[in-house]
Amino acid sequence: MEINFKHDKLVLNLSVDENSGERLISMGALIALAGYILSGPIGFLIVAISGAQPAWVSAGVFAAHYHWVQDIPFYFGFLLVGGMFMIAAGHFLNYRDGNAQIRFHLLLSVAWSIVFASLITFNYICQTTFVHNLALDYRPENDAVIAAFSMSNPLSLCWAIEMWGYAFLGVSSALMSGYYSRKNPLIQKLLILNLAVSLFSAAAIIINVHWMMTIGGLLSYFFWNLLMIVLMMLIYFNSKRSISV
């Protein structure tokens, strides 16, 4: 962005240089990659080592076993959310081919990523601040609120928001896939695969909300995490190659 002075007028130039979109994509991919790794496998290990919550029994049991370390994956999740929004915006800004349908899909991808970011950011604020303080200053009269918002409870509102939020991210990623139709078919296929996995998970909790706490649910989670880590790496390296050309 440039600000130019012409006589007595201030002119704001919102044009971006040729590689601005690619740089936004590569930076977003790195930030999201850090988020996926730190909030996923590493966050899981940190919580497991420091003392994870037992299976949900009640708000009182949750508060008795609560420790701030259990919120670490949610803090790292903010990186994931920000990185994915940067990626969606970067693809839209960087697309210069004449296919109006793909460009419209990229615009829709940004819109769906905003929906995703809004829902998941709400969730992580609830866990790190709202539920956090309710657990530290536990009172039995707050049991219903803790049960409704704590992600330790599979029946909580926040779990429903989480699964649907990432399903909307799947929609956003699939809408990006056309960008790679000629650039990188593997990335294109993996973006569409993310939609399939995300929608499957959202549908699974409609059928059985306890599914994500089962072995099948955990395996699906780790598969999805691996898929997104690989995808972020591929997007990053593809973007860096485009910048260097």
Instruction: Note the pLDDT tens digit of each residue in 15-66.
Output: 555 678 899 999 999 999 999 999 998 998 898 888 778 989 999 999 999 9
Q: Which two tokens stand for residue 14?
A: 């919102």
Report the chain's C-alpha Rg in angstroms. 20
Say which amino acid occupies 124: Y
pLDDT, position 21: 86
Task: Answer yes or no: is 9 within a domain.
Answer: no
For the chain, the domain total comes to: 1
Task: Answer yes or no: is 71 within a domain.
Answer: yes
Task: Answer yes or no: is 221 within a domain.
Answer: yes
pLDDT, position 52: 78
Residue (of 217, 25, 235) closest to 110 by Cα position: 25
Task: Answer yes or no: is 12 within a domain.
Answer: no
Range(s) of the domain holding residue 177: 18-244
β-strands 2-6, 9-13 pairing? antiparallel
| Residues in Cβ contact with 229 at an 8 Å cutoff, skipping those fewer than 6 apart | 33, 36, 37, 40
Task: Answer yes or no: is 199 within a domain.
Answer: yes
This prediction has a pTM of 0.88
pLDDT, position 10: 52
Q: Is the dihedral of CA 220, 222, 228, 233 positive or negative?
A: negative
Task: Answer yes or no: is 69 within a domain.
Answer: yes
Spatial contact of 139 and 62, defined as CB atoms under 8 Å apart: no
Can you say whether residue 99 is alpha, beta or left, with left for phi > 0 and alpha for psi between -120 and 50 degrees? beta
Half-sphere exposure of 222 (CA within 13 A, CB side): 11
Which residue is associated with the tokens 């977003």? 28
DSSP of 93-117, one letter per residue? Answer: HH--SS-HHHHHHHHHHHHHHHHHH
Task: Answer yes or no: is 5 within a domain.
Answer: no
CA 68 to chain CA centroid, nearest Å: 21
- pLDDT per residue, tens digit, the chain (245 aa), is 444 545 455 554 445 556 788 999 999 999 999 999 999 989 988 988 887 789 899 999 999 999 999 999 999 999 999 999 999 999 999 998 889 999 999 999 999 999 999 999 999 999 999 999 999 999 999 999 999 999 999 999 999 999 999 999 999 999 999 999 999 999 999 999 999 999 999 999 999 988 888 898 989 999 999 999 999 999 999 998 887 76
Task: Answer yes or no: is 13 within a domain.
Answer: no
Say which amino acid occupies 224: W
